[in-house]
Amino acid sequence: MTIEIPKQVRTAGIASIQRYFEENMPEPIGELPAGLLLNFFIEEIGPAIYNQAVADAQARMQLRVSDLNGELFADEFQYWPKFDAKQKNRR
């Protein structure tokens, strides 16, 4: 699976890489090399981050689904017990 990022995000990523180089490296990096570096990170490291995000989402969903009874369970046939309790309180 190829990871694609929107153009606006790509532009911001390149600008961030350029700033990082300006502040932390002895020489700045141009827009083209920063774009190539971003491509490398997306292709090489992106899948590991993506897979972890999918695993985290899957674990969260499984937790929510396994607790559907606790989340959504509604007691059945509660009208009469509630009615009887109200009657006892009125006496």
Say if CB 44 and CB 50 are below 8 A apart.
Answer: no
Q: Where are the domains of the chain?
A: 7-90
Instruction: In whole angstroms, give the CA distance from residue 39 to residue 34.
Output: 9
Residue 25: strand, helix, or coil: coil
The amino acid sitting at 81 is: P
Rounded (5°) CA angle 34-2-15: 20
Chain mean pLDDT for the chain: 93
pTM comes to 0.68
Reported as a single tens digit per residue, the pLDDT across 22-60 is 999 999 999 999 999 999 999 999 999 999 999 999 999
Q: How far is CA 40 from CA 33, 34, 69, 87, in A?
A: 10, 10, 45, 73
Residue 38: strand, helix, or coil: helix
